[in-house]
Structure formats: structure tokens, C-alpha cells
């Protein structure tokens, strides 16, 4: 008679679950498989026929293991930890410089398990990291656009800005107007080209509204 407990331990590739739930799941399934085996034998089946009947009911062990793991709250973490553990083992077998990477994977696996055991702390850490990454991204984007990105002009180092002052009137910046700009274009020979620009903004309301006051 087949020892279904041993069969499941060898073929049911379950991750190590907290509280020995993996062992309890194997034992419960093994008890049910033994009941099915006994029922088949009671119907007159041979040992091989009873075993085939039980295996048909169980299905593929990998699919059964996946179904059991999916019912666990931490099955994703367990699967990830098991995958990392396999990669770590492969790297240690390779030896050499791969052993250093294996040590890093071991640290990652240990940290992953520690975070799962403390969900509140993990949530706070993830929130802080998200805020930090978001703030850093915004800051770097501003620095890049303002300081690092080149201006959309050829030879931007030759650009100059012309300002007007009126000391007698107490004005450090007298602004600009179209008349002055046209005067520069007609009489100035120091610049290859001239353009007016403004850094101010304006909001216009009521445009196109027949009820708006003129």
C-alpha cells in the first residue's frame, strides 16, 4: 500500500509556510487519499488500480501545490522566497564571484520574510519610499529642465537680455515696448537678431460671451 504522506512530501512541492501549515496540508490531503485508497480496495480494485484511481483524483502534483499555495495569505511572498532560495543555491554551486551574489540574495530573502511578519511597518516603509522617490523625481525633473537641458537655440552662450532702467524716475526696470523694439531693429548693429519676450501672464474672462460687458 502506498504511503501517501511520503508521496506528497516528495512530489507536492509546497513552500515553507508559517505555523507548519504546509505539513498540516500534506497530512490532511494524505488522510483523504488513504480513505480513497481504502474505498477502491473495498470495491475489489487491486493495489495498482487503487493507486491509479487515487492519483487520477489528485491530478498533477504541481497543480495541486499551486492551488494550495494560492489559498495562503502570504503565498506570493512564500513563492518569491522559494524562488530566491533556489537561485541562491544555484549561485553557491557555481562558486567564485557568484557566491557574493548568493549572499546578497540571502539577505534579500531574510529581509523579505521580516517585512511580511510586520505588515504595518512594511506599509509605512513603502509609503515613505514612495514619497521620497516622488519628491526626488520632481526635483530632478525641475533641475534638468531649468539647469541642465540646453536652450532651444543655436549657440545659447551668445544670447543676451536687454533691460531698461530709469534712474531719474527711480525705476530699476523700465520694461519694454514695441516702439523701443522697432527702434533697436532699425538702428542697432550690435546684434544679429532681436526678439521681444515677456514673462508675465494674464487671465482673460468673458471672451466671446455676448452677455459680457464691453
Per-residue pLDDT of 105-136, as tens digits, reads 778 777 776 776 677 777 888 889 899 999 99
pLDDT of residue 214 exceeding 50:
no
- Percent of the chain, pLDDT > 70? 81
Q: What's the whole-number mean pLDDT along residues 189-211?
A: 71
- Using CA atoms, how far residue 102 sits from 78, 83, 95, 111, in Å, is 18, 13, 9, 14
Q: Are 165 and 171 in contact (CB under 8 A)?
A: yes
Give the residue, 179 or 12, on which the prediction is more confident. 179
Per-residue pLDDT of 42-91, as tens digits, reads 888 888 888 888 888 877 777 776 666 665 555 556 666 677 777 877 88
Q: Are 100 and 110 in contact (CB under 8 A)?
A: no
Give the residue, 12 or 176, on which the prediction is more confident. 176
37-68 in b/e form (b: 16+ CB < 10 A) is beebbeeeeeeeebbebbbeebeebeebbeeb
pLDDT of residue 191 exceeding 50:
yes
pLDDT value at residue 55: 82
Q: Are 30 and 8 in contact (CB under 8 A)?
A: yes
Rg (CA), the chain: 38
Q: Are 29 and 57 in contact (CB under 8 A)?
A: no
- Cβ atoms < 10 Å from Cβ of 85: 15
Does residue 15 sit in helix, strand or coil? coil
Q: Are 14 and 22 in contact (CB under 8 A)?
A: yes
Q: Measured between alpha carbons, how far is 26 from 112 in angstroms, rounded to an integer? A: 25
Across 4-8, 114-118, 139-143, least confident range:
114-118
Does residue 74 sit in helix, strand or coil? coil
Amino acid at each position: 500500500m502506498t504511503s501517501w504522506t511520503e508521496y506528497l512530501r516528495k512530489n507536492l512541492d509546497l513552500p515553507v509556510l508559517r505555523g507548519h501549515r504546509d505539513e498540516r496540508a500534506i497530512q490532511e490531503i494524505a488522510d483523504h487519499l488513504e480513505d480513497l485508497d481504502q474505498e477502491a480496495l473495498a470495491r475489489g480494485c487491486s493495489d495498482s488500480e487503487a493507486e491509479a484511481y487515487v492519483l487520477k483524483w489528485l491530478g498533477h502534483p504541481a497543480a495541486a501545490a499551486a492551488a494550495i499555495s494560492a489559498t495562503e495569505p502570504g503565498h506570493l511572498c512564500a513563492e518569491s522566497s522559494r524562488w530566491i532560495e533556489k537561485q541562491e543555491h544555484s549561485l553557491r554551486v557555481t562558486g567564485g564571484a557568484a557566491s557574493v551574489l548568493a549572499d546578497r540574495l540571502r539577505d534579500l530573502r531574510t529581509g523579505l520574510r521580516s517585512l511580511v511578519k510586520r505588515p504595518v511597518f512594511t506599509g509605512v516603509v513603502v509609503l515613505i519610499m514612495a514619497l521620497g522617490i516622488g519628491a526626488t523625481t520632481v526635483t530632478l525633473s525641475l533641475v534638468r529642465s531649468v539647469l541642465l537641458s540646453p536652450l532651444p537655440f543655436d549657440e545659447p552662450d551668445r544670447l543676451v537680455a536687454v533691460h531698461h532702467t530709469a534712474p531719474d524716475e527711480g525705476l530699476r526696470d523700465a520694461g519694454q515696448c514695441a516702439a523701443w523694439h522697432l527702434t533697436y531693429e532699425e538702428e542697432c548693429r550690435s546684434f544679429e537678431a532681436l526678439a521681444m519676450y515677456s514673462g508675465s501672464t494674464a487671465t482673460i474672462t468673458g471672451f466671446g460671451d455676448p452677455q459680457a460687458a464691453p
